[in-house]
Amino acid sequence: LMQLFRPLDMLGMVYRTVRQGLIDMAEMFRLIDTEAEVKDAPGAPALVVSRPSITFDNIVFGYENERTILHGLSFEVEAGSSVAIVGPSGAGKSTIARLLFRFYDPASGRILIDGQDIARVTQESLRAQIGIVPQDSVLFNDTIGYNIAYGREGADEETMVAAARAAAILPFIERLPDGFDTEVGERGLKLSGGEKQRVAIARTLVKDPPILVLDEATSALDSRTEQDILRTLKQVSEHRTTLAIAHRLSTIADSDRILVLDQGRLAETGTHAELLRKGELYAEMWARQQAEEAAVE
């Protein structure tokens, strides 16, 4: 009976983790050796990216047949630009990221990266091009060095140090008696939310992907730490194509473009200033959040 329960337990754990956000789902699947729902086409070529644009072309998708979550969604993220997806809870924001990673295939429509249909290339080559920075980062019970180098097999020390520096976690690591060899997690040092996130940013920098997905889970960083992290992320996003999934609008107001999703449809798009001038859904959400933040202060 235990043998029956253990895998279920494991799946439960992974499911809970995955539900919290997009926490390294590809790695999770690989770790527990679960077969993913989607399969590579026989003889599929690798995705080759020179200009990392993203196109959602008329995407229809539902997790179950009866309920459509995305109703013919189309949008484009130009190479090197930053686009934020906002909208009410359940609008389908995280679903967009899951489809971009090809954890599911759409019922119809195509998703293109640099003009190539992601359903026709190998999943491995697709995921190699995309880095996720979740706000609630999960670290492995291993050393800080391992957690950073995990971004890419065979990463050398120099790469690791450079990544830690760019993620603004190097001074912290250098102060630890064992430096990069310090054990973290349950067995070792407990890191704060902000430190964990910086380790995740460093891991992404080691991977050095042309496309970044920033997934803002309902994290509990204090606002100063959050501002610091946002500044770091902004530097990291430069020269990369960035798709940010945001709950709080203050974190994405300076994106090149904002997509406002409502019940699986694009309600409005524009810059922060344009959307405020329009005075519709985004402007309402903005006013509400500003009032809430003022109330908290």
Q: Which tokens is 16 given?
A: 């809970």
Choosing from 93, 152, 198, 240, the residue that interacts with ligand ATP (CB under 6 A) is 93
β-bridge pairing 130-134 and 211-215? parallel
Is residue 65 close enough to count as binding ligand ATP by CB under 6 A?
no
Is residue 140 close enough to count as binding ligand ATP by CB under 6 A?
no
The interface region with ligand ATP, picked from 87-95, 117-125, 203-211, 279-287 by CB under 6 A, is 87-95
The interface region with ligand ATP, picked from 41-49, 83-91, 190-198, 233-241 by CB under 6 A, is 83-91
Is residue 15 close enough to count as binding ligand ATP by CB under 6 A?
no
DSSP 202-260: HHHHHH--SEEEEE--S----HHHHHHHHHHHHHHHTTSEEEEE-SSGGGTTTSSEEEE
Is residue 92 close enough to count as binding ligand ATP by CB under 6 A?
yes
Is residue 90 close enough to count as binding ligand ATP by CB under 6 A?
yes
Residue with tokens 């050095």: 208
CB of 253 to ligand ATP, least distance (A): 18
H helix or E strand, kind and range, residue 56: strand 54-61
Is residue 20 close enough to count as binding ligand ATP by CB under 6 A?
no
Q: How many residues of this chain interact with ligand ATP, rule: CB under 6 A? A: 12
Nearer to ligand ATP, 211 or 246 (CB): 246
Find the length of the chain. 297
For residues 242 and 57, give the distance between their C-alpha atoms in angstroms, rounded to a whole number: 18
Is residue 91 close enough to count as binding ligand ATP by CB under 6 A?
yes
CB of 90 to ligand ATP, least distance (A): 4
Is residue 95 close enough to count as binding ligand ATP by CB under 6 A?
yes
* AA identity, residue 288: R
Is residue 94 close enough to count as binding ligand ATP by CB under 6 A?
yes
Nearer to ligand ATP, 126 or 246 (CB): 246
Query: N- to C-terminal Cα distance for the chain?
Result: 53
Is the torsion defined by CA of 99, 103, 104, 109 positive or negative? Answer: positive
* AA identity, residue 71: H
Is residue 63 close enough to count as binding ligand ATP by CB under 6 A?
yes
Find the binding residues for ligand ATP in span 245-264 (CB under 6 A).
247
Q: Which tokens is 144 given?
A: 């800080």
CB 154 within 8 A of CB 207: no
Is residue 134 close enough to count as binding ligand ATP by CB under 6 A?
no
Residues that bind ligand ATP (CB under 6 A): 63-64, 69, 87, 89-95, 247
